[in-house]
Amino acid sequence: MTGGRDGQAARWLDAQLHLLDRQVLDVHGVPMAVVDDLELSDVPVGQRIPVDAPPPVITALLSGPVLATRIFGGRPPDSRMQRTPWTAVVEVGVVIKLAVDQDTRDVAWTERWVRDHIIGRIPGGRHIPEREPNDHPENDERGGS
Amino acid sequence: MRVSRRAVGLILCLGLLCGCSQQAAATEDLIKALSDAHSVIASSILAIELYDQERSTRAVTETVLGDMAEQIVDAESALESIKIDSDQSQSDRDAALTAVHAGVTAVLASRDELKMHGAVQNTAELESAARQVDSVLTDLRGSR
Amino acid sequence: MKRILGVALGILTAIGGFLDIGDMVTNAVVGSRFGLSLAWVVVVGVIGICVFAQMSGRVAAVSGRATFELIRERLGPRAAVLNLGASFMINLMTLTAEIGGVALALQLVSSVSYLLWVPFAALAVWLVIWRVKFSVMENVAGLVGLCLIGFAVALFLLNPDWGELGRQALPGASTSTEKVSTYWFYAVALFGAAMTPYEVFFFSSGAVEEGWTTKDLTRSRANVLVGFPLGGLLSLAIAGCAAVVLLPQLISVTALSQVMLPVALAGGKMLLALIILGIVAATAGAALETTLSAGYTIAQFLGWPWGKFRPPAEAARFHLLMIICLIVGIGTLMTGVDPIQVTEISVVFSAVALPLTYLPILIVANDPEYLGEHVNGHALNGIALIYLVIILAAALAAIPLLIITGAGQ
């Protein structure tokens, strides 16, 4: 599905296995969201797709309130899903890594809100913990890495 | 309308069986409540003896007696709410209630004595209640 | 030298951290009513938790991913939500039981009613989660929890008839007064107490917290394979003490205070103090673990940033969730519900939830995408499959037995 870029070999990805429900990390390696859906270009609803139409392209990752809809069916309207453009994706592996900071994205607003209004106000909330004795420096993308 | 003798006999038998099994269930409940009471009284006696021998602390003994008091009061309530339907069950339950009530009085008295005086004089009342409970238990188990 | 100390520390922590209020209460109740005739369940449970924890630790160390992240990714949303819901509710129940346990232990020291200790215990748990380093938390709770070795000491001091105890433990020994259904109910409860699911979430998340890699695998294996069986021996010691002192007097354990009586008989006030200290540490440690597990399960499932290695402000929802869980725990206990009953119900439901957590771990432990060359070997898979059957059997039997026996009456 993803074509080669700058001479890189192309990779086959299965949307369900490799993209959906995967953790998304921002540029600092901090967990940001989970991929709940994918936005594809040019897939008209309710119309037959002509045989020679170009294949759809992933334009964005979508995250949103899908807990109930995943269990019972249906999907939330597009206005309730938050977009992360595909161009921001740097790596697709066990997790999906982005090149953007989550503080600039709407998808992380609940985390920011709780931080600013509740946790940040409790004494010690912004205290940086000491490093653990077994910390290996190359392991700085824990907790979702 | 003629009702066959067999049907009457069958109904009588079923009625007797139900009555019997209800009585058996009641007896089981009585035994359960009495066993709980025995366990409570034995624990209280053991706790007080250990405290007398200075092997246990006042805090632990107070906690044990407090917990046991709650348990035996619950056992007494359970006894009072057992459904009885025959004279035999009634007299069984009365005997059980008397024994357990003796236990309740003894445990509460020991608990309060420990709290107020820091020691318990003797376990005579508890031991007598234990004997009462055990004798009713033996009777009930024998009658099963 | 430093490495030996490190290994020793890990093993000691595993021993001291193995027991929680569920183990203590269930083993004491079983010992006082069935003697050692359910000892085999502890053995089965310990082997099971070793298999289970080893797999989840390996998965976390090699893939860098913790349990619930994997459950979501590998099983898809529907299965994962069911898993999440059940695990979280049981975790919450266990958390409540552990905080109740800390409060009960503090009552044994002070005579002050446990209800007054509940808020303090929960506050102390929160403060440790808020500020204390993960490894310090684990090590202190584990090492002080080692005081529970006092139960083994007590058993020896009681000078029991070892032959009689051994005879009780053999299959076929009959327990005269208890019904068969009650025997099997307590077998399931004891199994659930030994194989507590939160242990696995915690173990795997802890591996990620402490930044384990494949280099740490041998150490984790040693901790588990040596520490957990020794912890299991302590469970048996608790049952043994109850069997030797309480069973002959037909005392059935219904309160934590009764568990102290054999100890006092064996070793007096000194041993009593040691044990109570051990109970406070072990239950407080378990309270910490269950609270963190509650945070881990939800945060990992929903993709939130999590972990004690982050400043709380950078894992805000994770910390808020744990605060809410602690408040719910306090609220539940303050209604006056008996913490011992909460404990007994929580171990039974732990048995029900076991397949939900075990199966995903087994699946992922065989997945080369996550583990590369460290996937399960054939022998381990064999044992793991046998345990899958045992776990399913226990899970299916748990609720019917609970109903039939009226929770072990």
Domain harbouring C301, CATH code = 1.20.1740.10
Contact residues on chain C for A125, CB-CB shorter than 8 A: 311-313, 319
> In this structure, what are the phi and psi dihedrals at residue A39, rounded to the nearest 5 degrees?
-100, 125
Bridge-partner residues for A33, per DSSP?
A24
> Touching B: which chains, 3+ CB pairs < 8 A?
C
Q: Taking every pair of C-alpha atoms in chain A, what is the biggest distance, in angstroms?
A: 63
Query: Nearest to residue C144, comparing CAs of C231, C17, C292, C288?
Result: C17
Which of C107, C116, C176, C251 to mutate against chain B (most B CBs within 10 Å)?
C251
**Domain ranges in chain A?**
15-123
d(CA C145, CA C12): 9
Closest chain C C-alpha to A28 CA, distance in angstroms: 12
pLDDT (tens place) for every residue of chain C, 409 residues total? 677 777 777 777 777 778 899 999 999 999 999 989 999 999 999 999 888 888 888 887 787 777 777 777 777 777 778 888 888 898 899 999 999 999 999 999 998 999 999 999 999 999 999 998 888 888 888 889 889 999 999 999 999 989 888 888 887 666 567 888 899 999 999 999 988 777 777 777 777 777 777 777 777 777 788 888 998 999 999 999 999 999 999 999 999 999 999 999 999 999 999 999 999 999 999 999 899 988 988 888 888 998 888 889 889 999 999 999 999 999 999 999 999 999 999 999 989 988 887 888 888 888 888 778 778 888 888 999 999 999 999 999 999 999 998 887 7
Q: Is A61 on the interface with C (CB under 8 A)?
A: no
Size of interface A-C (CB pairs under 8 A): 122
Q: Which amino acid is at A105?
A: R
Q: Which helix (H) or strand (E) holds A83?
A: strand A82-85
Contact A124 C312 (CB under 8 A): yes
Q: What pLDDT digit, counting tens, does each position of A18-51 carry?
A: 888 888 999 998 998 888 888 888 776 677 878 8
Closest chain C C-alpha to A96 CA, distance in angstroms: 12
Closest chain B C-alpha to C255 CA, distance in angstroms: 7
pLDDT at position C166 is 87
**Domain ranges in chain B?**
26-143
Residues 6+ apart with CB under 8 A from B69: B104, B107, B108, B111
Contact C319 A119 (CB under 8 A): yes
Q: Count the helix, strand and coil residues of chain B and give each as a percent rounded to the nearest 5.
A: 85, 0, 15
pLDDT at position C238 is 96
d(CA C261, CA C214): 46
Structural contact between residues C332 and C343, judged by C-beta atoms closer than 8 angstroms? no
Query: Nearest to residue C56, comparing CAs of C296, C234, C230?
Result: C296
Structural contact between residues A35 and A15, judged by C-beta atoms closer than 8 angstroms? no
* pLDDT over 50 (residue A57): yes
The shortest CB-CB distance from B63 to any of C107, C252, C265 is to C107
CA torsion through residues A28, A33, A37, A42, sign: negative
Q: Residue C33 to residues B34, C182, C244, C251: CA-CA distances in angstroms? A: 16, 10, 11, 8
Structural contact between residues B110 and B140, judged by C-beta atoms closer than 8 angstroms? no
This model of the complex carries an ipTM of 0.88
Q: Which residues of C touch A (CB under 8 A)?
A: 63-65, 69, 72-73, 76-78, 81, 130-131, 133-135, 208-213, 215-216, 300, 302-317, 319-320, 369-370
Pairing status of strand A89-92 against strand A96-98: antiparallel
Q: Give the rounded percent of residues in chain B with a pLDDT score beyond 90.
A: 56
d(CA C86, CA C392): 15
In CATH terms, the superfamily for domain A15-123 is PRC-barrel domain (2.30.30.240)
Q: Which amino acid is at B121?
A: Q
Q: Which amino acid is at A28?
A: H
Q: Which residues of B touch C (CB under 8 A)?
A: 32, 35-36, 38-39, 42-43, 46-47, 50, 54-60, 62-64, 66-68, 71
Residue with tokens 């992380």: A108
pLDDT (tens place) for every residue of chain B, 144 residues total? 566 777 676 666 666 665 556 667 778 888 889 999 999 999 999 999 999 999 999 999 999 999 999 999 999 998 888 877 787 788 888 899 999 999 999 999 999 999 999 888 888 999 999 999 999 999 888 877
CA C367 to chain CA centroid, Å, is: 27
pLDDT at position B1 is 55
A21 by DSSP, 3-state: which?
coil
CA torsion through residues B16, B35, C25, C237, sign: negative
Q: Which amino acid is at B63?
A: T
Which residue is closest to B36 within chain C, CA to CA?
Answer: C252
d(CA C294, CA A131): 23
Closest chain A C-alpha to C47 CA, distance in angstroms: 27
> Based on the structure, what is the number of domains in chain C?
1
Structural contact between residues A82 and A63, judged by C-beta atoms closer than 8 angstroms? yes
> In this structure, what are the phi and psi dihedrals at residue C25, rounded to the nearest 5 degrees?
-65, -50
Size of interface B-C (CB pairs under 8 A): 71
Query: Nearest to residue C29, comparing CAs of C168, C181, C193, C155?
Result: C193
Query: Nearest to residue C284, comparing CAs of C17, C91, C8, C13?
Result: C17
Report the b/e string of A38-47 with b at 16+ CB within 10 A. Answer: bbeeeeeeee
Q: Which residue has the higher pLDDT, A124 or C276?
A: C276
Counting CB pairs under 8 A, whether chains A and C reach 3 or more, is yes
Q: Which residue has the higher pLDDT, A106 or C174?
A: A106
Contact C313 A33 (CB under 8 A): no
